[in-house]
Amino acid sequence: MTKQGGPGKGQKGLRFDDDSITRQKVKKGTLRRIIPYAMRYRWPLAVLLLTTVVDAVITAASPLILKMIIDDGILPHRLGVVVWLCLGVAGLALLDALAVYVQTWCSGRVGEGLVYDLRTQVFKHVQQQSLAFFTRAQTGALVSRLNADVIGARQAVTILLSQSVSTIMTLLLVLSAMFYLSWQVTVASLVMIPFFLLPVRVISRRLQRLTRETMQLDAAMSSMMNERFNVSGAMLAKLYGRSQDEADLFAGRAGRVRDVAVGAVVHGRMLFIIVTVLTSLTTAVVYGIGGNLTIDGTLQIGTLVAMVTLLLRLYGPINQLSTMQVSVMTALVSFDRVFEVMDLEPLVAERPDARELPATTSAEGTAPDIEFDRVSFRYPSADEVSLASLESIAFRKPERTDTSWTLQELSFSAPAGKLTALVGPSGAGKTTLTHLVPRLYDPTTGTIRVGGHDIKDLTLQSLRDTVGVVTQDAHLFHDTLRANLEYARPGVSEQELVEACKAALIWDAVCALPEGLDTVVGDRGYRLSGGEKQRIALARLLVKAPPIVVLDEATAHLDSESEAAIQRALKTALAGRTSLVIAHRLSTIREADQILVVEAGRIRESGTHEELLAAGGLYADLYHTQFAQQAPEPAQVGADRA
């Protein structure tokens, strides 16, 4: 998340003008890495280069024909020559149009193909990152890698190959033609060019920086919109009465985008003005000197016209040549930024020789057990999981010291098919512990085994097929209930969906919805109550039917009817499964076959409810402060257990 000094105030934490972001140098070897991408399109690229050469030849040749029309046709009154040469010019114009058409098609094919390749690769790679990466990287910055940078990277291939070949070919051919026609006029017209090249270079460099900064600021702006326009962000702004501050903060960011964009437009225009002035001055020189030579009779009038036409065709490539280095650098930096994301090794990776976890069912006695063997865990630091440019905040100092262990030397076994409850004070590390089982994070030291297999030896797919997780605030996609449930197991039958909903005691509520299972839910859809959402999450778990269940019970206080419904639904969901439950309800704790008391990242006590109460330790304290008031009437306990 973006660190903020406070809405509307100076954004000290944000460093958009950070050198690491705007002045990035291209890393060594980037060019070499681009080649395989380009090679996939070698045929369209070859045609692209061929048509570029054809275009350059026609550009240089047509003024020469113009000269011949005037000098060899019009002046000596030879109509036949004029007609044939004009037909030649028309033919060349058509050929050039065809060449440019094919060139554009090939360039689009290569460019868009490259955008597709890079986008799909980055998307897949980002999905493989560990949860730690997503807790740090800004969504807007990530989205901009897939949009702006990927498009910038496309330029690298198209500019590098087609523009550079076209520029160099045109320059060589046009200059040769000019020298051939009159070396004196050519030299005179070229003398001024160096005086213009220096300012062009300086301005292009500034333009490059401004373009990069615009990209970064745009990413920050879209990040802010992403955060503020989702339901939770919008609600927070309203509840704390910060709408005006938010508007001011946004106006500040939009203002910077405006200022930088104005700078970019002005610099771009300055380049254009310089080239126009240069063209006008040199045209004047050519007409001045060439006119003189024509009056002398040294030059023919057709040669003079051809010289001026060639000169006008020279400045486009000269301008491109002076800015090409900058354009190529900008495009290469974009490639670099895409590679930077792709080089980020996922912290949780599958071993090359990973094995499938043998399929098990949830039938009593066949679910695998879970074993923690001296497991310690420390949350990875920022530079291990993320990139400064994805956080919009440069790392200034190491974030943590080696002593900040979240879990220390945990050893326990959650028996197969049994319910293990985790209790403990807030911040003790219970959620962190459960995140290690489906490998959302990997332990820093120690081993976790499922069914006797080290989970690091298993394929991620088979592990995640085996472990089902229900978090406290279950997320539902903005889609129909049916699609949300099918997400757990694509292809599940209607009958199974209905059964899962019935078992999670949510079927009646689903039937009461405007369109039943086809009601759109999630962030922008139909709002379900907290209890309903929990039971939908349980139904989704039942659709998946995993042998191991990791569950974080809702802390929200529910009315006794909903509480009883969830409790019954839970009993069904957990039956026969190896369950690890972060328990907030006395009823769950009483049901547990084993209770682990977690405090400050360690397991302090373990046993059954009765044993731990009798021991009079931490659990007994917790029981009296947190759970005792939930104690139901004796009659209800009896009913629950029945």
Ligand X SMILES: Nc1ncnc2c1ncn2[C@@H]1O[C@H](COP(=O)(O)OP(=O)(O)OP(=O)(O)O)[C@@H](O)[C@H]1O
Query: Where along the sequence are the contacts to ligand X (CB under 6 A)?
Result: 135, 379, 406, 424, 426-432
Residue 213 or residue 553: which is nearer to ligand X going by CB?
A: 553
Nearest residue (CB) to ligand X, 14 versus 622:
622
CB of 329 to ligand X, least distance (A): 37
Shortest CA distance to 16 belongs to which of 215, 287, 182?
215
CB of 471 to ligand X, least distance (A): 10
- 521 vs 519: CA distance, rounded Å: 6
Q: How far is the CB of 341 from ligand X (least distance, A)?
A: 20
Task: Pick the closer one to ligand X by CB: 453 or 584.
Answer: 584
Q: Quick check: 198 and 345 in contact, CB under 8 A?
A: no
**Any residues with CB less than 8 A from the CB of 532 and at least 6 apart, and which?**
506, 509
The closest alpha carbon to 526, from 474, 477, 569, belongs to 477
Q: Are strands 445-450 and 370-377 parallel, antiparallel or unpaired?
A: antiparallel
Q: Which is nearer to ligand X, 166 or 432 (CB)?
A: 432
Burial category of 190 from C-beta neighbours within 10 Å (exposed 0-12, middle 13-18, buried 19 and up) = middle
Q: Is-contact 548 437, C-beta < 8 A?
A: yes
What residue type is 308 in one-letter code?
V
For residue 46, what are its two tokens? 């070859």
CA distances from 7 to 21, 80, 141, 286 (A): 23, 78, 20, 60
Please state the closest distance from residue 132 (CB atom) to ligand X, in A.
6
Q: Among residues 152 and 429, whose Cβ is nearest to ligand X?
A: 429
Alpha carbon distance 298, 188 (integer Å): 16
| Exposure b/e, 251-288, CB count within 10 A at least 16 = b | eebeebbeebbebbeebeebbeebbeebbeebbebbbe
Residue 77, phi then psi, degrees to nearest 5: 60, 45
Query: How would you write 497-521 as a 3-class SS string?
Result: HHHHHHHCCCHHHHHHCCCHHHCEE
Q: Are strands 419-423 and 594-599 parallel, antiparallel or unpaired?
A: parallel
Residue 411: name the closest of 450, 463, 446 by CA.
446
**Closer Cβ to ligand X, 19 or 399, answer by number:** 399
Smallest distance from ligand X to CB 601, Å: 7
| Residue 4 · residue 392 · CB < 8 Å | no
Nearer CB in complex with ligand X: 293/597: 597
- Shortest distance (Å) from residue 379 CB to ligand X: 3
- At closest approach, how far in Å is the CB of 119 from ligand X? 28
Q: 426 vs 629, which CB is nearer to ligand X?
A: 426
Q: Could you give the C-alpha distances from 351 to 85, 107, 356, 455, 458, in angstroms and in order?
A: 71, 40, 12, 10, 8
Q: Which is nearer to ligand X, 126 or 328 (CB)?
A: 126
Q: Whose Cβ is closer to ligand X: residue 186's or residue 406's? A: 406
Nearer residue to ligand X within complex by CB, 507 or 623: 623
Would you tell me how many other CB atoms lie within 10 Å of the CB of residue 642? 5
Q: Report, in Å, the least distance between residue 130 CB and ligand X.
A: 10
Name the minimum Å distance from CB 410 to ligand X.
Answer: 12
Q: Smallest distance from the beta carbon of 430 to ligand X, in angstroms?
A: 4
> On the CB side of 232, how many CA atoms lie within 13 Å of its CA?
6
CB 17, min distance to ligand X, A: 28
